[in-house]
Structure 1
Amino acid sequence: MSVSRLACGPGKVFTLSEQEPKKKHKSRHGKGEKKKPLEINWRAWYLVGVLFFISIPLGLYLWNPFTGVQRVRKRVAAIEGRAEVEVVAPGILQAIFGSDVGFWSQVAGGTQVMRLHLDQSKVSDEDLRILRSTPFLTSLHLSNTAIGDAGLKYLKYATELKELLLVNTAAVTDKGLEELPHLKKLESINLTGTQVTEEIAETLKSVHSLKEVTLGGPKITPEGIEKVRAALPGVEVHPKPGGTTPAPPAPVPLKPMG
């Protein structure tokens, strides 16, 4: 506000006040103009959705060579074993793209290793580190291999395992099987031809899912097998003396010289 004084004769002063003009703020939308409703570009959103949907399998395809499944398959092939995989992709994706194992094997997360056949392979104790990358594994065959106690420590990673074959693994002892209680779903185990003793009963008692055990070897007697049977009520315990080592190949006859 500003104040002005005017002199109007002797001794008289009149004071006038002026109101400062207020600044007027114009509405963004103009006087009396209503806000326009938000317009959605459905075509653009549709295009974004399509691109996003396509990018998922493409990204999984590009990432596939670096997944644990592919590393396991390569290592198993290198030691002359065999890995069986199954499709584990979500059902909705299988409904769209089909359930062919060959297709999903090219997509990261599309398949998982379910069974490992390493019988008579070149597998070593350290090779069993691959069990860290097989969370869905249900069957593991290690018969007639050089596997020992050191390799069996990796069994704790195969928490879905249901079947374990260790026939003629002469380096396996009671100590190496101390990881068995981690296998909450183990149903069948074959220890024929190992170095286990009747003390294995204490370990097997902690595997509550067991249904079948096959025993036999140089360090377990018929009395020891009966002790195991008594410790595992409800479990079928099959005695099997010795092992099932394959017969050696017949010698090749030498050709006469001359």
Structure 2
Amino acid sequence: MLGEASEAEDVVQDAYLRWRRSDSVTVPEAWLTKVVTNLCLNRLTSARARREVYVGPWLPEPVFTSELGPLEIVEQRDTVSLGMLTLLERLTPPERAAFVLREAFDYSHREIAEILDVDEAHARQLYRRAREHVGEPRKRFTPSSEQRTKIVERFLAATVEGDLAGLERLLAADVVAWADGGGKAAAARIPVRGRERVVHLLAGLAKHPRAAAMRMSVASVNGDPAIALHEAGALAYIIVPEIVDERIVAVRTVANPDKLAYAAGQRV
């Protein structure tokens, strides 16, 4: 719902404290869902103002997800992907809540209406508008987890080796690269669009003097294979390629140290 792991943890803690203080809850799941949703709505409203003055592209906070757990379904995995969380930024807070409750947790429109304190017709409208803004899924063929990991490994190898032809084969013609430095780390402040420009960008980054000293590895981030770069033992970048039809259609790089703090705390 929030796109920020640290914010999500704060919401869970706030909900727990309210749970401890409450002594009249008859249906715990419904009560907790409503409380957590409304806490998220409050934070999303204030976050929109902060993001309007953010330096450069804003990307969600990456989280290492080596194992998402047996209760996670495909729809839930898709909803937490960096690509989907970025799309959700197009939505108003109520639209975002309606979309997540419906898509990830299969709540009915009537249940969503009760959670958001609106009538059912309004809940349906919120979901319809959210679906229109997010758009229909671009994925026509979704490679398996193993296939996606191999593509990301080839992408990393081609970048490090300066294999321009290999990169061109992996990238879609309309690929877009975003970088989130937040004004605190070196990063392009506008998206880089098109295969030729993205290949040129990646080739330049691979030749940077800092690159040789970095330790690079493939890890699961927000349910997708991604690349983690460590410099002097500290997490410096997370690069998340988005794969459609076995081609990379987007490359999202998070470099803002504030955005990496949660993920850095997950790693030993």
Q: Is TM-score (shorter-chain normalized) higher than 0.5?
A: no
Structure ranking higher on relative contact order (CA contacts 8 Å, 6+ apart): 2
Normalised by the size of structure 2, how large is the TM-score?
Answer: 0.20
Normalised by the size of structure 1, how large is the TM-score?
Answer: 0.21
Larger proportion of helix = 2
User: Which of these two proteins has the greater Rg computed from alpha carbons?
Assistant: 1
